[in-house]
């Protein structure tokens, strides 16, 4: 289908984008890569009267470590992350997710900020952000603000961003010795949204005790979902096969999938159980080595 008519605006700065959004109000939508918004417009699930293209704003594409934080500019593309030496070496969880995200043509223009700001529980990056306990930095009419990731996803395609807010940066704790992460999903075909996916981040102390843990699920609830019970079970303990089995069961019980074209509810719960256990084991292996 063809999208409904709209007026196109190209912003050259964050302040200009915010001003345009303020002017056109609820009828305006930001677009960076466009791979989340445009398909919805073609299906008439979204019919904004004004599109504000922020893809060419300078200064929002970068990957850098400052102090104890990894900072990623919101307009950094999936491809830029895929080929970044630091990401490949120290943050394999990102590499896991990026290679499963759509196809190269999408990754070449799709941005990490757009992936997160869209608020879609089926996207891959939101679960990573939850597992790694990220912070989102946004800029709006009142200046910049930081939003803990656990407060960011608020409902079906709903986030903590105000209508005129521009997501400008994602911050995650810097990788350290004894930490490791992993992500995987089951999909019907290459490039599809996840039938179900799981992101895990762990940090161990010198005795092998779990000091940090994040477990998050993709596309098995209305919002990207943190597995609270599983995290609580692993924290402060040496991770054993028995504990991993228990967390897998918890994940299958606590997720909220619905039956659809990608599978039945029971099938999705079974997938979540299996992938959760596999990703804990892989994250544990990476943390140990």
Q: What is the rounded distance in angstroms from the CA atom of residue 214 to the CA atom of residue 16?
A: 37
How many CB atoms within 10 Å of residue 100? 17
Domains of the chain plus CATH, in order, are 7-53 (3.30.43.10), 63-173 (3.30.465.10), 179-288 (3.30.390.50)
Q: Which residue has the tokens 């990056």?
A: 125
Tell me the backbone φ, ψ of residue 172, rounded to 5 degrees: -130, 150
What pTM was computed for the model? 0.94
In three-state secondary structure terms, 174 is coil
DSSP 1: -
Where are the alpha helices (H) located in the chain, listed in sequence order?
14-24, 37-42, 78-82, 85-90, 92-98, 104-107, 112-117, 125-131, 228-234, 241-254, 265-288
What averages of pLDDT result for each successive group of 10 residues across the chain (289 residues)?
89 97 93 79 84 96 97 97 96 96 87 94 96 98 97 95 97 97 93 91 98 98 97 98 98 97 96 98 97
Closest CA to 282 of 93, 83, 100: 93
In this predicted structure, what is the pLDDT of residue 35?
67
Q: Would you say how long the chain is, in residues?
A: 289
Q: Which two tokens stand for residue 119?
A: 């608020």
Q: What is the rounded distance in angstroms from the CA atom of residue 12 to the CA atom of residue 33?
A: 15
In three-state secondary structure terms, 30 is strand
Closest CA to 156 of 112, 113, 198, 119: 119
In this predicted structure, what is the pLDDT of residue 41?
82
In this predicted structure, what is the pLDDT of residue 4?
86
């Amino acid at each position: 289908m063809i999208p409904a008519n709209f007026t196109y605006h190209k912003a050259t700065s964050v302040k200009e984008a915010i001003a345009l959004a303020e002017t056109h109000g609820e009828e305006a939508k930001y677009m960076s890569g466009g791979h989340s918004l445009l398909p919805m417009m073609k299906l008439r699930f979204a019919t904004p009267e004004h599109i504000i293209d922020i893809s060419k704003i300078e200064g929002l594409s970068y990957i850098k470590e400052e102090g104890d934080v990894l900072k990623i500019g919101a307009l950094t593309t999936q491809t830029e992350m895929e080929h970044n030496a630091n990401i490949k070496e120290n943050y394999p969880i990102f590499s896991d997710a990026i290679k499963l995200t759509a196809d190269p043509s999408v990754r070449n223009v799709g941005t990490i900020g757009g992936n997160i700001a869209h608020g879609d529980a089926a996207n891959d990056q939101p679960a990573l952000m939850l597992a790694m306990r990220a912070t989102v930095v946004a800029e709006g009419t009142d200046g910049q603000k930081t939003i803990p990731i656990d407060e960011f996803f608020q409902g079906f395609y709903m986030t903590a961003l105000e209508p005129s807010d521009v997501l400008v940066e994602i911050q995650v704790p810097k990788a350290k010795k004894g930490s490791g992460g992993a992500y995987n999903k089951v999909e019907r075909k290459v490039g599809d949204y996840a039938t179900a996916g799981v992101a895990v981040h762990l940090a161990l102390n010198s005795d092998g005790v779990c000091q940090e843990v994040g477990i998050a699920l993709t596309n098995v609830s209305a919002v990207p979902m943190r597995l609270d019970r599983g995290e609580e079970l692993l924290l402060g303990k040496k991770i054993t096969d028995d504990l991993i089995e228990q967390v897998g069961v918890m994940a299958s019980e606590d997720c909220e999938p619905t039956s659809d074209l990608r599978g039945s509810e029971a099938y999705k719960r079974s997938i979540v159980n299996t992938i959760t256990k596999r990703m804990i084991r892989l994250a544990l292996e990476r943390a140990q080595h």
